[in-house]
A and B are shown apart, each in its own frame.
Chain A
Amino acid sequence: MLGSNVSISGLSKSFGDFKALKDVSLEIKKGEFFSLLGPSGCGKTTLLRLIAGFEDPDSGLVSIDGRDVTGLPPDKRRCNTVFQSYALFPHLTVFENVAFPLRIRKTPGKKVRELVKRHLDLVQLEKHADKKPSQLSGGQKQRVAIARALINEPSVLLLDEPLSALDAKLRQHMLVELDSIHDEVGITFIYVTHDQAEALSVSDRIAVMDGGKILQVGSPQDIYENPKAEFVARFIGDTNLFSGKVVSFSNGISLVQDERIGAIKVEAGNEAPEGSWVSVAVRPEKIRISLAPPAEAGPLGNVVKGMVDEPIYSGFQSKYYVRTPGGGHLVVFRQHAQWSEGVPDIKWKDEVWLSWSARDAVVVEASGTSIAPVVSGDSLDE
Chain B
Amino acid sequence: MSRRKVPSFSDAVFWTVVVFLFMPLFVLLLYSFNASKGGTFTGFSLVWYERLFFGSDQLWKAFGKSVSIALGSASLATFLGTLAAVGTSRYKFFGKGYVQAMSFVPMILPEIVMGVSLLVFFAGLGLKLGMATILIAHTTFNIPFVYLLVSARLEEFDSSVIEAARDLGANEMQTLLKVIVPMIVPGILSGWLTAVTLSLEDFVITFFVAGPGSTTLPLYIYSAIRFGVSPVINALSVVMVVGTVLLVYPSRRFLKAFAAGA
Q: Report the separation of the CA atoms of residues A54 and B162 in the bound assembly, to the nearest whole angstrom.
A: 11
Within 8 A of B (CB), among A62-82: 73-75, 80-81
Contacts of A149 in B (CB 8 A): 167-168
* A111 CB within 8 Å of chain B: no
Q: Report the separation of the CA atoms of residues A89 and B162 in the bound assembly, to the nearest whole angstrom.
A: 9
Closest Cβ neighbor of B163 among chain A residues: A54
Contacts of A89 in B (CB 8 A): 161, 164-165, 179, 182-183
Contacts of A355 in B (CB 8 A): none
Q: Report the separation of the CA atoms of residues A88 and B167 in the bound assembly, to the nearest whole angstrom.
A: 12
Closest Cβ neighbor of A52 among chain B residues: B167
Q: A80-B168, A104-B174 are in contact. Are A87 and B262 (CB under 8 A)?
A: no
* B261 CB within 8 Å of chain A: yes
Question: Are B183 and A90 neighbours in the complex by a CB distance under 8 Å?
Answer: yes
Question: Are A104 and B158 neighbours in the complex by a CB distance under 8 Å?
Answer: no
Within 8 A of B (CB), among A258-304: none
Q: Report the separation of the CA atoms of residues A104 and B170 in the bound assembly, to the nearest whole angstrom.
A: 6
Which of A75, A84, A88 has a CB less than 8 Å from the CB of B169?
Answer: A75
Closest Cβ neighbor of B260 among chain A residues: A134
Contacts of B165 in A (CB 8 A): 89, 100
Q: A75-B169, A90-B183, A104-B169 are in contact. Are A83 and B261 (CB under 8 A)?
A: no
Q: Report the separation of the CA atoms of residues A75 and B179 in the bound assembly, to the nearest whole angstrom.
A: 15
The smallest C-beta distance from A68 to any residue of chain B, in angstroms, reads: 19
Contacts of A4 in B (CB 8 A): none
Question: Are B163 and A81 neighbours in the complex by a CB distance under 8 Å?
Answer: yes
Question: Are A105 and B169 neighbours in the complex by a CB distance under 8 Å?
Answer: yes
Q: Mark B158-196, 1 if CB is under 8 A from A, else 0.
A: 101101111111110010001100110100000000000
Closest Cβ neighbor of B159 among chain A residues: A87
Q: A100-B168, A101-B169, A104-B170 are in contact. Are A74 and B163 (CB under 8 A)?
A: yes
* A85 CB within 8 Å of chain B: yes
Contacts of A145 in B (CB 8 A): 164
Contacts of B185 in A (CB 8 A): 91
Q: Report the separation of the CA atoms of residues A134 and B259 in the bound assembly, to the nearest whole angstrom.
A: 11
Q: Mark A98-124, 1 if CB is under 8 A from B, else 0.
A: 001101110000000000000000000
Chain A interface extent, by class: 20 to 34
Q: Report the separation of the CA atoms of residues A56 and B262 in the bound assembly, to the nearest whole angstrom.
A: 32
The smallest C-beta distance from A239 to any residue of chain B, in angstroms, reads: 35
The smallest C-beta distance from B14 to any residue of chain A, in angstroms, reads: 36
The smallest C-beta distance from A362 to any residue of chain B, in angstroms, reads: 40
* A152 CB within 8 Å of chain B: yes
* A132 CB within 8 Å of chain B: yes
* A228 CB within 8 Å of chain B: no
Q: Report the separation of the CA atoms of residues A258 and B171 in the bound assembly, to the nearest whole angstrom.
A: 60
Q: A75-B166, A101-B168, A132-B261 are in contact. Are A91 and B183 (CB under 8 A)?
A: yes
Question: Are B168 and A73 neighbours in the complex by a CB distance under 8 Å?
Answer: no
The smallest C-beta distance from A100 to any residue of chain B, in angstroms, reads: 6
Q: Mark A141-176, 1 if CB is under 8 A from B, else 0.
A: 000010011001000000000000000000000000
Question: Are B160 and A87 neighbours in the complex by a CB distance under 8 Å?
Answer: yes
Within 8 A of B (CB), among A301-333: none
Q: Report the separation of the CA atoms of residues A316 and B240 in the bound assembly, to the nearest whole angstrom.
A: 75
Which of A81, A91, A92, A132 has a CB less than 8 Å from the CB of B167?
Answer: A81
Contacts of A103 in B (CB 8 A): 178
Question: Are A87 and B261 neighbours in the complex by a CB distance under 8 Å?
Answer: no
Which of B167, B261, B262 has a CB less than 8 Å from the CB of A74?
Answer: B167
Q: Report the separation of the CA atoms of residues A89 and B168 in the bound assembly, to the nearest whole angstrom.
A: 12
Q: Report the separation of the CA atoms of residues A145 and B160 in the bound assembly, to the nearest whole angstrom.
A: 12
What are 15 A-B interface contacts by the 8 Å CB criterion?
A53-B167, A74-B163, A75-B168, A75-B169, A83-B163, A87-B160, A88-B161, A89-B165, A90-B161, A91-B262, A92-B182, A100-B178, A104-B169, A105-B169, A149-B167
Closest 6 CB pairs of A and B: A87-B164, A87-B160, A101-B168, A91-B182, A74-B167, A90-B262
Residues of B within 8 A of A (CB): 158, 160-161, 163-171, 174, 178-179, 182-183, 185, 260-262
Given A91-B182, A100-B165, A100-B168, 14 more pairs with CB closer than 8 A: A53-B167, A54-B166, A75-B168, A75-B169, A81-B163, A83-B160, A83-B163, A87-B161, A104-B169, A104-B170, A104-B178, A149-B167, A149-B168, A152-B169
